[in-house]
Amino acid sequence: MTPGQTLARGVCRHLRGYNFVTIEEFVPTAGLRVDVMALGPKGEVWVIECKSSRADYHSDNKWQGYLEWCDRYFWAVDEAFPTDLLPPDSGLILADGYGAEIMRMPSEAKLAAARRKKLTQMFARHAALRLQALRDPGVGVNGIS
Amino acid sequence: MTPGQTLARGVCRHLRGYNFVTIEEFVPTAGLRVDVMALGPKGEVWVIECKSSRADYHSDNKWQGYLEWCDRYFWAVDEAFPTDLLPPDSGLILADGYGAEIMRMPSEAKLAAARRKKLTQMFARHAALRLQALRDPGVGVNGIS
């Protein structure tokens, strides 16, 4: 696992405690790939980007593009990360490979109904495809392998 | 795998060819458990019940309850199954453990929008929870284990 994937694991575990389910490396639209996409018990959509270092953060010039694909947006970092770098109004999660803690809850910018519907369908399809690939190795993610 | 699960595997593989994703043993409402729930590229919801024998079919007194949870309803059976037993207007899939074929496409009874939305969310949550349990054995299906 990369350092970012390790943070993602802890984030996903923690979000279960909020009754959110999660998928990793989700592509909401061509050219964007979010580290963690979370779906809440009432259909809430959260995006969490995991940054393992200052360099990792500075190399991401796409993050503002993620904002329009979620109700709330968070950064997840480890305790060594210089959090002063991060925009003060975005969400902040402190994570390691075993768990996490939400340090700052961002304000909510609700998705339009049509986009939420589309995203929920895409989330369902992404999760089901990957699940099928694991439970039946005879099927690839893109169909019969 | 039970005979029913073997049929389900073939059904799920075949439905990938229609660009449908699938989950198994889905509970749309208390007391009902469907063998295969499939989600299509336009959000279509199909339910497929897998019957391995005449006895298996006759012991199911709940199937009419499944109709209100999908746009189309199918039986999946193997080639030894006496298909004359089945209602003539329901869908029919001939399956084995490696693949399947849709023999009869049932008419569509479209879900109301609110139920489709709810079912799609439940599908997404079911798939993501089981996927997380597989990719991170430290998390159980019901949360941190």
Residue B123, both tokens? 């599908």
pTM of the model: 0.93
Give the pLDDT band of residue B145 (cuts 50, 70, 90).
Answer: very low
Q: Mind listing the pLDDT tens digit for each residue in A68-79?
A: 999 999 999 999
Q: Do A39 and B117 touch (CB under 8 A)?
A: no
B24 to chain A, closest Cα gap in Å = 9
- The C-alpha atoms of residue A84 and residue B116 are separated, in whole angstroms, by 44
Q: Do A132 and B22 touch (CB under 8 A)?
A: yes
Q: Do B124 and A13 touch (CB under 8 A)?
A: no
A55 to chain B, closest Cα gap in Å = 27
Ranges of each domain in chain B: 3-109
Residue A117, both tokens? 């519907």
CATH architecture assignment, domain B3-109:
3-Layer(aba) Sandwich (3.40)
Query: Higher-confidence residue: B71 or B139?
Result: B71
Nearest residue of B to residue A125, measured between CA atoms: B21
pLDDT of residue A1: 87
Residue A128, both tokens? 């089901």
Q: Mind listing the pLDDT tens digit for each residue in A5-47?
A: 999 999 999 999 999 999 999 999 999 999 999 999 999 999 9
Q: Do A21 and B123 touch (CB under 8 A)?
A: no
B43 to chain A, closest Cα gap in Å = 7
Give chain A's mean pLDDT: 93
Give chain B's mean pLDDT: 93
pLDDT of residue A145: 37
Residue B137, both tokens? 């054995």
Q: Do A21 and B132 touch (CB under 8 A)?
A: yes
- Residue B32 β-bridge partners: B29
Residue B57 in this model has a pLDDT that exceeds 90: yes
- Residue B38 β-bridge partners: B22, B46
Tallying the residues shown for chain B, one arrives at: 145
